[in-house]
Amino acid sequence: MQQSTSATHHIICIVGARPNFMKIAPIMMALSELKPNLDVTLVHTGQHYDVAMNEQYFQALGIPAPDINLEVGSGSHAVQTAEVMCRFEAALEGKNPTAILVVGDVNSTIACALVATKKGIPVIHVEAGLRSFDRAMPEEINRVLTDQISDMLFTTEPSGRDNLLREGVADKRIHFVGNVMIDTLRHNLARAIPTSKIASDAGRPDFASGEKNYAVVTMHRPANVDDEITLGSLINTVVTISAQLPVIFPLHPRTKSMIEKFGFGKLLDNANILLLPPMGYLEMLGLMKDAKVVLTDSGGIQEETTALGVPCITLRSNTERPITVDEGTNTIAGQDPETILGIFNDVMRGGGKGGRIPQYWDGRASNRIADLIAAEFGIAKPQVP
Ligand code: UD1
């Protein structure tokens, strides 16, 4: 890893898994405006490694190649987290960064935060304070623990501050800046790949080529896909929906392997369902933008659909992003088929929930973060000639 040589300050940004990439892209761009007074390097833990889950995001979003890849790969939670910790600690050997910056709630987030804080290196957490209050979700554990050991906490919505204050985090550490993932969405919307191209590349040029005439489905949470009965019920619900509206269903590797394991492939072999591999960022943006409705268990997609004004049905019984329900287009459905179909039918009849864009989801969250980091660590802003 490049060591801070010319600059007085050095921030190490961390990514590990797919939902981190669209968050780090605008942050690195905003921090790069502090050069030459700040060196910014990128560590990739290697939690996600397939081209479809990894490289294609770097290319599409113009993220600089990582300075170091820890190549941890998959494993149980303990193995994966421990591997990131051991390898990140070794990578920090001889370095004395001003701070490390982590995003989101994946295993790489808590692992690197824990290593850094024990070495006395300040931790900056972007997307702090979100809470589902569901400790069965591995991400909830990662969020709570990362926030407890972070020095600067950047929140996306007002609930973040309330949650952090209740957990004893000092108010002065908390900064409401908005949503960096929506920075990326706004910067890239005009480049979104049209659904017609995605369908035609998949060999189905006839499939749902117009706007608002298809649903998008994504699911990958262990609670939805690892259990045979739950996954079978969700897939049957998707099949029911497909009788009314064509369904485009990109499959996460975990979901694909569970469908194979439980023998559900035949259920999805249906002319009204288009199964796709994991989509790149610009492809997914195109699919969501023109969808009539999105059904998902992803956290990020709940926010992206709110920003796009597209109705979202969340296949979980809670959300850590309540603003998407209070102000946005999101409805929490859980896993019960009747509830999901009831909300879906409302969308079919009335167009679904409208919404407004939450405060600071304006494309400038990363600039606010860079300004606050510069002020916190005394990094002078370079003079613009
Ligand atoms: C992780 C995050 C989750 C995030 C999701 C997005 C944690 C605890 N979970 O879950 O919050 O929403 O990423 O994808 O960090 N696999 C591949 N190729 C890859 C990566 C994974 O095939 O490039 C397969 C492996 O079989 C692996 C499984 O997917 O065991 C799960 O990967 P893992 O990173 O452990 O968790 P995700 O379910 O992806």
> Is 294 inside a domain boundary?
yes
Percent of the chain residues topping a pLDDT of 90: 94
Using DSSP bridges, classify how beta strands 68-69 and 38-44 pair: parallel, antiparallel or unpaired: parallel
Q: What is the pLDDT of residues 328-374, one digit of tens each?
A: 999 999 999 999 999 999 999 988 888 999 999 999 999 999 999 99
- If asked whether residues 205 and 332 sit together in one domain, one would say yes
Atom of ligand 1 nearest to the CA of 54: 23
Q: Specify the pLDDT at position 2.
A: 45
- If asked whether residues 305 and 171 sit together in one domain, one would say no
Q: How far is the CA of 48 from the centre of ligand 1 (A)?
A: 6
Atom of ligand 1 nearest to the CA of 47: 34
> Is 96 inside a domain boundary?
yes
Residue 63: both structure tokens together: 């993220």
> Is 261 inside a domain boundary?
yes
> Is 3 inside a domain boundary?
no
CB-based pocket (< 6 A), ligand 1 = 17-19, 47-50, 53-54, 74, 105-107, 138-139, 220, 252-254
Three-state DSSP state, 50: coil
Q: Is 309 left (phi over 0), alpha (psi -120 to 50) or beta?
A: left
Rg (alpha carbons) of the chain, rounded to whole number: 21
- If asked whether residues 149 and 82 sit together in one domain, one would say yes
- If asked whether residues 83 and 172 sit together in one domain, one would say yes
Atom of ligand 1 nearest to the CA of 107: 15
- If asked whether residues 22 and 104 sit together in one domain, one would say yes
**What's the mean per-residue pLDDT of the chain?**
96
> Is 189 inside a domain boundary?
no
Q: How far is the CA of 54 from the centre of ligand 1 (A)?
A: 11
Q: How far is the CA of 157 from the centre of ligand 1 (A)?
A: 26
> Is 90 inside a domain boundary?
yes
Q: Model-level pTM?
A: 0.96
Mutate which of 21, 23, 48, 135 for ligand 1? The one with the most ligand atoms within 8 Å of its CB, which is: 48
Q: Specify the pLDDT at position 384.
A: 74
Sign of CA dihedral 73, 77, 80, 84: positive
Round to whole Å and give the CA distance between 338 and 333. 9
What b/e readout covers 191-221, taking b as 16+ CB neighbours within 10 angstroms? ebbebbebbeeeebeebbbeeeebbbbbbbb
Nearest to residue 153, comparing CAs of 165, 138, 141?
A: 165
The upper half-sphere exposure of residue 211, i.e. CA atoms within 13 Å in the direction of its Cβ, equals 4
pLDDT at 4 over 90: no
- If asked whether residues 19 and 165 sit together in one domain, one would say yes
- If asked whether residues 343 and 371 sit together in one domain, one would say no
Containing structural domain, residue 266: 194-348
pLDDT bucket at 318, cuts 50 / 70 / 90: very high
> Is 2 inside a domain boundary?
no
- If asked whether residues 114 and 137 sit together in one domain, one would say yes
- The residues near 278 (Cβ < 8 Å, ≥ 6 apart) are 18, 50, 52, 53, 250, 251, 252, 253
The alpha-helical segments, DSSP class H, found in the chain are 18-32, 55-61, 77-92, 107-118, 138-148, 158-166, 180-188, 195-201, 222-225, 228-242, 253-262, 265-268, 281-289, 299-308, 323-326, 337-350, 365-377
- If asked whether residues 210 and 155 sit together in one domain, one would say no
Atom of ligand 1 nearest to the CA of 49: 23
> Is 185 inside a domain boundary?
no
Catalytic residues: 220
Number of domains in the chain: 2
Q: What is the pLDDT of residues 162-201, one digit of tens each?
A: 999 999 999 999 999 999 999 999 999 999 999 999 999 9
Picking from 198-202, 206-210, 220-224, which range would have the lowest pLDDT averaged per residue? Answer: 206-210
Q: Is the CB of residue 258 less than 8 Å from the CB of residue 231?
A: yes
**Averaged pLDDT, 302-325:** 98
Round to whole Å and give the CA distance between 92 and 111. 13
Percent of the chain residues topping a pLDDT of 70: 98
CATH code where residue 342 lies: 3.40.50.2000
Q: What is the pLDDT of residues 56-74, one digit of tens each?
A: 999 999 999 999 999 999 9
- If asked whether residues 154 and 215 sit together in one domain, one would say no
- If asked whether residues 147 and 79 sit together in one domain, one would say yes
Q: How far is the CA of 254 from the centre of ligand 1 (A)?
A: 7
Q: What is the pLDDT of residues 248-300, one digit of tens each?
A: 999 999 999 999 999 999 999 999 999 999 999 999 999 999 999 999 999 99
